[in-house]
């Protein structure tokens, strides 16, 4: 042995090539917050929840926040012990094994990829709404062009380096949240001028609270995205779990503020309102808030585009290092240390779908809602699997205590119920067809891997490991390498 301290260490980490240990905690937090896009959720989700929850809307958000925190606690079980770029895909592999990890990875890929499409569509939609309020209405082709331009810009920034994209995400998301806090602060502090109820909505009931949890959870999707930056975070075992749990708490608080403001403003008739915040602003004599609202939502979707691209390409990178997607996607740029091949593949695909739908004349709001529904399904499956994996992982490493078992026992039935409600509520539309096609594609992909690459499939779940170059020694190869 040349150096006893280096015995058993790899020459380099399995995830070498990424910009390891370079992101500050606040930049890691921004990744999760931006993927969840809380500013957009504050303006749109409460009215959707109120359709089924009625006056119990706020309590549906309370329960959804509790579920998100429970899932975040399950994720933290892993991220306090390992740093990975594959997000929940890599984590699930350590608790449930390769089959469930593959399912989690496929669901997460669908979630991130379709959320990227939705973010591009949302940014284009609300940019168009912003310009329309200024008297600059544009044809659908401009919406498609906006999607392409934003995608190219996002791809370039994500390629340029994780710190560059993280700082831009942090700045843009800070602006969007500040804008939304100003809007809701004005609505809460202004003179009482509730608009006339537009339609009757259900009263308070436990059934209403439960029915509202599914759409309320839509405000949280993406809150786990910081786990994809585990390799690049300076203190991953601290900053990543704090970012995930902090994002769940922050999104919960912002959603509760937005829900309370709108429920009170509409005197219990929030459900079905197409533009609730705009309507409230007009009723309070502050129509200029509508312009600010569109600007805040558009910037939130721009930040979401960047953050989601960051997470998506790192999951592809990890799958490529596991050799379950083409190996070139596991390559990294020699100068920028980002997965440039994965970026070159993912970004054009993410832009093509919403751009094609805009060109086909599909209304922007229809595009956005359909894409968000598909993305939500992917996230729910991934959250369910990682919650199941957490106590099994702890048992495997001999650190299981009662608390993680209780958290999983509370979170998993709720998530399973929400998944069931989602399937039933989507019947009759295009979403089940899209989901069915994605499931068939994943099954076919899994069957091919079982036949052609069983050894690689059994070993999936790559994560960062200390290498010889990471160890400080007074002399020897590691010392010279530093």
- The number of beta carbons lying within 10 Å of the beta carbon of residue 268 is 18
- What pLDDT score does 6 carry? 60
Cα separation of 430 and 435, whole Å?
A: 9
Confidence band for 194, pLDDT divided at 50, 70 and 90 = low
For residue 468, is pLDDT > 70?
A: yes
Confidence band for 428, pLDDT divided at 50, 70 and 90 = confident
For residue 480, is pLDDT > 70?
A: no
- What pLDDT score does 477 carry? 44
Place of tokens 């805009």: 358
Q: What predicted TM-score, i.e. pTM, was given to this entire model? A: 0.92
- What pLDDT score does 211 carry? 76
Q: What is the mean pLDDT of residues 196-200?
A: 56
Residue 230, both tokens: 């585990």
Q: What is the mean pLDDT of residues 396-405?
A: 94
Q: Is residue 400 classed exposed, middle or buried when 0-12, 13-18 and 19+ CB atoms within 10 A define those classes?
A: middle
Cα separation of 7 and 416, whole Å?
A: 45
Give bridge partners of residue 23 from the DSSP assignment.
Answer: 233
Of the two residues 154 and 50, the one the predictor is more confident about is 154
- What's the mean per-residue pLDDT of the chain? 88
Give bridge partners of residue 330 from the DSSP assignment.
Answer: none
What are the pLDDT digits (tens) for 2-39?
455 566 667 788 899 999 888 999 999 999 999 998 98
- What pLDDT score does 23 carry? 92
Quote the distance between the C-alpha of residue 344 and its chain's center.
20
Share of the chain above pLDDT 90, in %: 60
What are the pLDDT digits (tens) for 118-153?
999 999 999 998 888 888 877 778 889 999 999 999
**CATH class of the 36-463 domain in this structure:** mainly alpha
Confidence band for 277, pLDDT divided at 50, 70 and 90 = confident
Q: What is the DSSP letter of 39?
A: H
Confidence band for 467, pLDDT divided at 50, 70 and 90 = confident
Give me the sign of the Cα torsion angle 95, 97, 99, 104.
Answer: positive
Per-domain residue ranges for the chain?
36-463
Residue 345, both tokens: 């593949």
For residue 384, is pLDDT > 90?
A: yes
């Amino acid at each position: 042995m040349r150096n006893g301290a280096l015995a058993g260490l790899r020459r380099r980490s399995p995830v070498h090539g990424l910009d390891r240990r370079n992101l500050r905690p606040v930049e890691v937090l921004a990744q999760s917050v931006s993927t969840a896009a809380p500013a957009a959720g504050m303006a749109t989700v409460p009215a959707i929840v109120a359709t089924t929850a009625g006056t119990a809307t706020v309590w549906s958000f309370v329960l959804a926040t509790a579920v998100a925190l429970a899932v975040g606690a399950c994720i933290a079980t892993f991220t306090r012990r390992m740093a990975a770029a594959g997000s929940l895909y890599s984590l699930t592999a350590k608790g449930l094994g390769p089959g469930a990890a593959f399912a989690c990875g496929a669901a997460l890929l669908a979630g991130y990829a379709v959320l990227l499409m939705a973010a591009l569509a949302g940014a284009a939609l609300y940019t168009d709404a912003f310009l329309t309020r200024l008297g600059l209405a544009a044809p659908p082709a401009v919406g498609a062009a906006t999607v392409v331009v934003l995608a190219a810009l996002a791809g370039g920034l994500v390629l340029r380096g994780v710190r560059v994209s993280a700082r831009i995400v942090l700045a843009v998301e800070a602006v969007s949240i500040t804008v939304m806090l100003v809007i809701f602060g004005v609505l809460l502090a202004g003179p009482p001028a509730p608009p006339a109820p537009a339609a009757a909505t259900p009263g308070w009931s436990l059934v209403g609270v439960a029915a509202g949890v599914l759409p309320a959870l839509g405000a949280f999707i993406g809150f786990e995205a910081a786990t994809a930056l585990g390799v690049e975070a300076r203190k991953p075992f601290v900053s990543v779990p704090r970012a995930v749990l902090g994002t769940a708490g922050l999104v919960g608080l912002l959603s509760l503020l937005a829900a309370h403001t709108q429920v009170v403003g509409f005197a219990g008739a929030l459900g079905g309102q197409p533009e609730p915040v705009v309507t409230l602003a007009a009723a309070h004599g502050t129509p200029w808030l509508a312009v600010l609202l569109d600007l805040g939502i558009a910037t939130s979707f721009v930040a979401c585009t960047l953050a989601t691209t960051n997470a998506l390409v790192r999951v592809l990178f990890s799958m490529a290092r596991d050799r379950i997607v083409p190996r070139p996607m596991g390559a990294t740029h020699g100068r920028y240390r980002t997965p440039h091949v994965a970026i070159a593949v993912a970004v054009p695909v993410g832009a093509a779908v919403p751009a094609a739908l805009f060109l086909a004349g599909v209304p922007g709001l229809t595009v956005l809602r359909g894409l968000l529904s598909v993305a939500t399904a992917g996230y729910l499956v991934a959250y369910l699997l990682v919650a199941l994996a957490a106590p099994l992982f702890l048992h495997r490493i001999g650190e299981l205590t009662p608390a993680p078992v209780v958290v999983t026992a509370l979170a998993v039935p709720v998530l399973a119920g929400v998944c069931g409600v989602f399937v039933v509520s989507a019947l009759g539309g295009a979403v089940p067809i899209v989901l069915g096609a994605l499931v068939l594609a994943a099954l076919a992909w899994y069957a091919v891997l079982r036949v052609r690459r069983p050894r690689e499939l059994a070993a999936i779940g790559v994560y960062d490991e200390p290498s010889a170059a990471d160890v400080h020694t007074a002399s020897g190869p590691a010392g010279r390498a530093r």
